[in-house]
Amino acid sequence: MQIFAHRGSSGTRPENTLPAFAEAVRIGVDGIELDVQLTKDQQVIVMHDETVDRTTDGKGAIIDKTLAEIKKLNAGSWFDEHYSSTKVPTLKEVVDLLVARNYRGILGIELKTDKEAYPGIEEKVSALMTSQQWPFTYWYSSFNMDTLERIHALEPQTRIDFIMDKADIPPLVFEKTEIQGIHPNIEWVWTNAEEIAAFDLAIRPWTVNKKEDVKRCIDCQVTGIFTDFPEMAMDIKRSYRGKK
């Protein structure tokens, strides 16, 4: 079972920041997940929410701010004063960090277009990711099927996964042969636990933060999990290996 650091090691560092991603690399996770949005001046930044309110000392929508304005914000003190100098990273800064740390796992890039359309974000992200060879593998995911179709047209060889909540899998997912996996809410897994092993699609639920839930996911034979506490999950995974 793959362990993905959800927004980096976001249970122990400010989410979607360089410290969170650096910690995930140190832990030795199988994968790192992050979210991308587009600024007013068309720069790709890494942040989960469509506004800066929750994870910085600023207010307002990302789409209404330039990168320079966003770079002035404090993106760490909300989590702990120790991170008061932490800034909102661009996607380029994150991948450069992963290269510098010789990261060899998977980078999962979620395109956050389910609320803001961000026209052109797929082209901008793809242009960066295809600009060179990386030491890590990367793939894309989104709640937005149109976004997945656009990114697949740009990079037909790159893996794409559909993100969903607790509802049943939309029939369209099975019709789209380019979709190789789903990322459901963990509650969906508990509802469908008996059928998981027989699914053709890879299943990686979010967000699995309790020890007992990590163990249940291993027993259910999901492909992977997204967790805010990747070190804890990696420890459990290693302990399960030791029992076999």
Catalytic site residue from 6, 82, 152, 183: 6
Compute how many other C-beta atoms are within 10 angstroms of the C-beta atom of residue 59: 10
Q: How far apart are CA 57 and CA 86, in angstroms?
A: 11
Residue 6, SS3 per DSSP: strand
User: Residue 82 catalytic?
Assistant: no
**How many CB atoms sit inside 10 A of residue 13's CB?**
25
Of the residues 48, 82, 152, 183, which is catalytic?
48
**Is the CB of residue 52 less than 8 Å from the CB of residue 123?**
no
6 annotated active-site: yes
Residue 77, class by beta-carbon neighbours within 10 Å (0-12 exposed, 13-18 middle, 19+ buried)?
A: middle
Closest CA to 18 of 34, 37, 40, 4: 34
Catalytic residue list: 6, 48
